Amino acid sequence: MLKVSLTHDVDRARKTYQYFTGFAKSMMKGNLSEALYHITPQKKEPYWNIYDIAKLEDSYGLRSTFFILDESIKFNPFKPSTFALAVGRYDMFEPKIQDAIRYLDKNGWEIGLHGSFLSYNNKELLGREKSRLESIVGHPVLGTRQHHLNMDDTTWRIHEELGFLYDSTWGSNYDIGFVDGKIKPFHPHGNKFTVFPLSLMDVCFMPIQNKWERFEKLMDEVEQNNAILVVNYHHRVYNEKEYPGYKAAYIRIIESALKRNAEIAPLIKFYNKIS
């Protein structure tokens, strides 16, 4: 049987500098109407799509995993590499963020931690992020994925020491499929701590010319190896205006899996089955 886990990295709660970068890119393409859209206030926050995704998944009777980010990098005008991380980050204790987290948690979705950009080798920082998120849901947070898929040879040990049961960072920022032949969930420390390889991320999948052919082959590979197809769809890309085709592609992914009678569940459900 095909097994699929749908996951979402909640990187941003609102659009900020993208108003200006989107305007500039559209003007460079000579698309005035698109450029005007980027600088026109919208009735609905373009990047706030958590409830929309939950409604879609609920219509299929499905649940997924949402990884919540607690980024703490400060804006530094002398470090351009930090701009995208610092500008527009959200506070998980903001009322609407807390409400969304609690809604998901109480209605069967899994809440995991999206470890901040610098937390992959910083136990104190990652532990603080975990504790803050746990104070919102009122119970232990058991799964994690590092922001930008950052990791080194200390990351999984830190995860285990902090009480995480699994991680889903292992994957590619550039292509779909499995990295280094690691297809099935594995145990890097020889115990119950589990790594679920990530094999399909939206921003890698959508530009591929033959993406649906490759997706069918990926499902074949997962099914043949009794593995789990872990999909990462960032919640901001559910905005059709700025990410045309992404919403339709997510629906097609779900329906393609269901046509194969796939088992679709949050990662913690699969962990409980194999641990």
Cβ pair 50, 10 in contact under 8 A = yes
What are 109-146's pLDDT values in tens digits? Answer: 999 999 999 999 999 999 999 999 999 999 999 999 99
274: number of Cβ within 10 Å = 13
What type of residue is 232? N
Q: Which of 140, 151, 150, 13 has the alpha carbon at shortest distance from 70?
A: 13
Can you give the pLDDT at residue 33?
64
Can you give the pLDDT at residue 12?
87
Task: Examine the pLDDT at 176 and tell me if it is beyond 60.
Answer: yes
What are 35-46's pLDDT values in tens digits? Answer: 556 666 666 788
**How many CA atoms lie within 13 Å of 120's alpha carbon, on the beta-carbon side?**
15
The DSSP H or E segment spanning 68 is strand 65-69
Can you give the pLDDT at residue 45?
84
Can you give the pLDDT at residue 190?
96
Residue 268 lies in a domain: yes
Residue 197 lies in a domain: yes
Task: Give the residue numbers spanning the domain of 133.
Answer: 3-15+47-274
The rounded percent of the chain whose pLDDT value lies above 90 is: 78
Task: Examine the pLDDT at 170 and tell me if it is beyond 80.
Answer: yes
Task: Examine the pLDDT at 274 and tell me if it is beyond 70.
Answer: yes
- Per 3-state DSSP, the chain is made up of helix, strand and coil in percentages (nearest 5) of 40, 15, 45
Task: Examine the pLDDT at 18 and tell me if it is beyond 90.
Answer: no
Q: Which of 120, 125, 179 has the alpha carbon at shortest distance from 154?
A: 120
Residue 34 lies in a domain: no
Average pLDDT for 253-265: 98
pLDDT band per the 50, 70, 90 thresholds, residue 20: low
Q: What is the DSSP string of 240-265?
A: TTTSTTHHHHHHHHHHHHHHTT-EE-
Task: Examine the pLDDT at 24 and tell me if it is beyond 80.
Answer: no
Two structure tokens written together for 104: 């998901």
The DSSP H or E segment spanning 66 is strand 65-69
Average pLDDT for 70-77: 79
Task: Examine the pLDDT at 19 and tell me if it is beyond 60.
Answer: no
Task: Examine the pLDDT at 241 and tell me if it is beyond 80.
Answer: yes
Provide the number of structural domains found in the chain: 1
Residue 270 lies in a domain: yes
Long-range pairs for 177-186: beta carbons < 8 A, 24 or more residues apart: 177/214, 177/218, 177/221, 178/221, 183/221, 183/222, 183/225, 183/227, 184/225, 184/226, 184/227, 184/228, 185/227, 185/228, 185/270, 185/274
pLDDT band per the 50, 70, 90 thresholds, residue 275: confident
Q: 3-state class of 133 per DSSP?
A: helix
Residue 176 lies in a domain: yes
What type of residue is 52? D
CATH code of 222's domain: 3.20.20.370
Task: Examine the pLDDT at 85 and tell me if it is beyond 80.
Answer: no
What are 190-223's pLDDT values in tens digits? Answer: 999 999 999 999 999 999 999 999 999 999 999 9
122: number of Cβ within 10 Å = 16
Average pLDDT for 67-88: 75
Q: Which of 67, 108, 113, 149 has the alpha carbon at shortest distance from 264?
A: 108
Residue 39 lies in a domain: no
Task: Examine the pLDDT at 62 and tell me if it is beyond 80.
Answer: yes
Residue 205 lies in a domain: yes
Residue 166 lies in a domain: yes
Cβ pair 167, 113 in contact under 8 A = no
